[in-house]
């Protein structure tokens, strides 16, 4: 049993956004604009929420030291001086006495990182701004 396929020339109309949604002209532009703006605002809110969740992380400068053939980092928190071992990552070991940027949690200074914990929020922020602006000015551009 063979299935018969129909081509577009056989009386089948192509499916378009207008035929699926039933919207035309200004209503379709407004629906797309609202969707793009809402998505942009959601991304902006997500970026701000992530940044607010990491508000307790502080940035400071640490000194790299070599003590008894052990690689260490020393830095000041608000209440004490911390000394932690150099992380065995793909980060090259600097020369002794070099300043290194360290991010640490204010309540739990044992939680620290050499990279900002919120470093990729600028992608969400940029995409949110771009989509919000595009959705706002889309009806004006197509008018």
Q: What is the pLDDT of residues 61-83, one digit of tens each?
A: 999 998 888 888 899 888 888 88
Q: Where does the pLDDT of residue 2 fall: very low under 50, low under 70, confident under 90, or very high at 90 and above? A: low
HEC profile of the chain: CCCCCCCHHHCCCCCCHHHHHCCCHHHHHHHHHHHHHHHHHHHHHHHHHHHHHCCCEEEEEEEEEEECCEEEEEEECCCCEEEEECCCCCCCCCCCCCEEEEEEECCCCCCEECCCCCCCHHHHHHHHHHHHHHHHHHHHHHC
Q: In the prediction, which pLDDT does 7 show?
A: 55
Judged against a pLDDT cut of 60, whether residue 56 lies above it is answered with yes
pLDDT at 129 over 90: yes
Average pLDDT, the chain: 82
Place 11 in a pLDDT band, splitting at 50, 70 and 90: low
Instruction: Report pTM.
Output: 0.61
**Predicted local confidence at residue 28, as pLDDT:** 80
């Amino acid at each position: 049993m063979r299935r018969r396929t129909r081509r577009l020339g056989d009386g089948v109309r192509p499916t378009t956004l207008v035929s699926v949604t039933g919207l035309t002209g200004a209503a379709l532009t407004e629906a797309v604009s609202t969707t793009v703006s809402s998505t942009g605002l959601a991304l902006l809110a997500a970026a701000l929420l992530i940044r607010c969740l990491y508000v307790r992380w502080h940035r400071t400068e640490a000194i790299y030291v070599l003590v008894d053939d052990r690689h260490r980092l020393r830095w000041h928190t608000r209440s004490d001086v911390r000394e932690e071992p150099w992380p065995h990552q793909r980060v090259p070991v600097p020369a002794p006495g070099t300043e290194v940027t360290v991010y640490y949690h204010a309540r739990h200074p044992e939680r620290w990182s050499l990279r900002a914990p919120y470093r990729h929020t600028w992608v969400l922020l940029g995409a949110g701004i771009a989509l919000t602006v595009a959705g706002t000015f889309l009806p004006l551009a197509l008018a």
